[in-house]
Amino acid sequence: MSAATNSQILGVDQLTMRFGGILAVQELSFAAERGKITALIGPNGAGKTTVFNCITGFYKPSGGSIRLTHENGGHFAIERLKDFRIAKQAKIARTFQNIRLFPGMTTLENLMVAQHNMLMRASGFTFLGLIGVPSYRSAEQDAIDLATHWLKRVGLLDRADDAAGNLAYGDQRRLEIARAMCTGPALLCLDEPAAGLNARESAALSELLLSIRAEGTSILLIEHDMSVVMEISDHIVVMDHGVKIAEGSPREVRDDPKVIAAYLGADEEEAMAVMESGS
């Protein structure tokens, strides 16, 4: 577990997060495989989003380590990186539980902002871009092409010039995923991407995530919608009260009595959902 092999993209080891007297996450260890979809599930308040915020640099963990390994062997100690460097260098992209787009900018602009670091270098840190060198213009065209590609993938090409704040809720969710993908991530972290989507939209989302995985991006997922989790996950980590209670393939997790107990104890409806999606 501790020694990261190259097939493992993310290794979380003994992660602990304390807020004052509250222990939100306690010595959590798990690993995410490269090119796979790993899901993090658990009842409300289990500490999933806290783990997420530690991995994406929004919290500094109180203890433990988070290791990210690129395919080329690049190795990052996430808990020691500054937040924006985690996205820039370690190539972890994330979405948010409550959507965080740039509502006053167009859909296309949202995706252009995501390619900021590439474009900054191409524009010679603004100085070359200011005088309009051709190399910057071609880089900008490449960025527009990549954005167009992702707009097609999420079905928002005809909304490219509309303000992101004007999109429907489901469209905003997909745009946020497209924006994260435009950063060219090695690991994509999705915080409840199916929240508030209808059945058809959830199915489309599953398809999108599977196609992203097929292209080699690893995905770490927090999700309440069990139909999505059970359908697309390769590996599931179940948390409750800040500790890991189970881990394994969707089938193993589904049948685990501890998982059922945790869900039953916390929320009857969700436990039913877990069991139903199994049958």
Q: Which two tokens stand for residue 14?
A: 């003994």
Nearest to 45 by CA among 190, 238, 242, 229: 242
| In the complex, minimum distance from the CB of residue 196 to another protein, in angstroms, rounded to a whole number | 15
Q: Which position among 9, 68, 119, 219 is part of the footprint of another protein (CB under 8 A)?
A: 119
Task: Tell me the window of 30-38, 86-94, 197-205, 213-221 that interacts with another protein (CB under 8 A).
Answer: 86-94
Give the dihedral of Cα atoms 194, 199, 202, 208; nearest 10 deg.
-170
Please pick, from the candidates 70, 96, 195, 245, the single residue that binds another protein as defined by CB under 8 A.
Answer: 96
Contact with another protein (CB under 8 A) among 120, 168, 199, 210: 120
Q: Give the count of alpha carbons within 13 A of 81, CB side only.
A: 22
Q: How far is the CB of 132 from another protein (least distance, A)?
A: 8
The one among 51, 108, 154, 212 contacting another protein by CB under 8 A: 108
**Which of 28-36, 89-97, 257-265, 271-279 is the region at the interface with another protein (rule: CB under 8 A)?**
89-97
According to CB under 8 A, which residues from 129 to 188 bind another protein?
A: 129-130, 140, 144, 148, 157, 160-163, 165-166, 179-180, 183
State which amino acid sits at residue 159. R
Using rule CB under 8 A, residue 222 touches another protein: no
Within residues 232-271, the interface with another protein by CB under 8 A covers: none
- Min dist CB 225 to another protein, Å, is 22
Give the nearest distance from C-beta 3 to another protein in angstroms.
Answer: 28
CA distance 204 to 216: 19
Q: Please state, in angstroms and as integers, the Cα–Cα distance from residue 167 to each residue in 58, 147, 162, 223, following that order.
A: 27, 17, 8, 22
Q: Which is nearer to another protein, 27 or 162 (CB)?
A: 162
Residue 129 CB, nearest approach to another protein (Å): 4
User: Stretches 59-67, 80-88, 214-222, 225-233: which one binds another protein (CB under 8 A)?
Assistant: 80-88
Judged by the rule CB under 8 A, the positions of this chain that interact with another protein are 56-58, 83-88, 93-94, 96, 100-106, 108-109, 112-117, 119-120, 123, 126, 129-130, 140, 144, 148, 157, 160-163, 165-166, 179-180, 183
